[in-house]
Amino acid sequence: MNDPAHLRVSAEAEAAQFPPLLARAEHLAGSVLLGEHGRRRAGLGDNFWQYRPAQLGDSRRMIDHRRSARGDIEYVREREWQIAQSVMIWIDRGASMQFHSDDNLPTKGNRARLLGLALSILLVRGGERVGLTGTTLPPRRGNQQILRLAEYLATHDEADYAPPEHRAMIPSARAVFISDFLGPLDEVRLALSKAADRGVRGCMYQVLDPTEEAFPFKGRTIFESMGGTLSHETLKAGDLRDRYLERLAARKAELTELCALAGWQFSTHHTDHSAQAGLLWLYRAMGVSA
């Protein structure tokens, strides 16, 4: 899964099942870097661009009946895309994301990368500019960007819990944070406040392993973090379950609250669920105005 080519193939496969995603640009003027209308290609806009034959996945409402009535083929009227949005993605590459409770389940990191890249592909197809937060990979268009993303995502971070990258956020752009959010919350809070300051909206997607939700442990146990920096010994793991679950719920609630304050969306994804479900949520979160 860490092989960039493989990751991209999987991501393409996931993305192929969705029609092109067009991120909605709220603040049109601020985000358009090219500065001009008319992107010389089909997209969301007011000007006629071209008629093209209806394809699978086009909704019926998109069919232009005036043109279609002239022949046997149904046509879709496309308009020239006039705007582009910048989307910045942050995917947690920390050691905690390397966890998976069962050999049959992917690691959280894998699932997060898959979701992030699939979302990127959808966005790129929609003509959006996609990049990473921070200065490593600023948003760009085109398939090349997908490759670069895949390559970057294949690397790991050694730290147990990686803090969200919040530097060099483009104002009024969109952002997606995918992580397990089990690390210190202060960093998250900081990142969100910075994003809110710059008018960046987006979503936070928490990817968790099922055991992290269920805590099915019993007996005398020493719990260690993936990097080994943290450890906790208990004699009766079963007794900890309720308190652990309380804490987890509290954290989720706090994240939800933070997101709500910043105008973001928050949800949780489990690795034992299908990646499609996760991608669908991300797709909708990016498509709907937050």
Chain residues binding other proteins by CB under 8 A are: 96-97, 99, 108, 161, 180, 182-183, 209, 211-212, 215, 217-226, 230-240, 243-244, 247-248, 251
Q: Which two tokens stand for residue 8?
A: 């991209």
Residue 80: CB minimum distance to other proteins, A: 47
Residue 188: CB minimum distance to other proteins, A: 13
Nearer to other proteins, 14 or 180 (CB): 180
Residue 242: CB minimum distance to other proteins, A: 10
Number of Cβ within a 10 Å radius of residue 246:
10
Nearer to other proteins, 35 or 219 (CB): 219
Distance CA 133, CA 54 (A): 37
Distance CA 81, CA 21 (A): 13
Residue 272: CB minimum distance to other proteins, A: 16
Distance CA 44, CA 21 (A): 11
Nearer to other proteins, 83 or 112 (CB): 112
Nearer to other proteins, 53 or 238 (CB): 238
Residue count of the chain: 290
Nearer to other proteins, 56 or 222 (CB): 222
Residue 251: CB minimum distance to other proteins, A: 7
Q: Which residues of 13-30 are buried (b: 16+ CB within 10 A; e: fewer)?
A: ebbeebebbbbebeeeee
Residue 171: CB minimum distance to other proteins, A: 33
Distance CA 107, CA 113 (A): 10
Q: Which residues of 83-120 are buried (b: 16+ CB within 10 A; e: fewer)?
A: bbbbbbbbbbbbbbbebbbeeebbbbbbbbbbbbbbbb
Nearer to other proteins, 29 or 235 (CB): 235
Residue 113: CB minimum distance to other proteins, A: 16
Residue 225: CB minimum distance to other proteins, A: 5
Nearer to other proteins, 210 or 287 (CB): 210
Nearer to other proteins, 9 or 230 (CB): 230
What is the CB-side half-sphere exposure of residue 102 using CA atoms within 13 A? Answer: 11
Distance CA 190, CA 188 (A): 5
Residue type (1 letter), 273: H
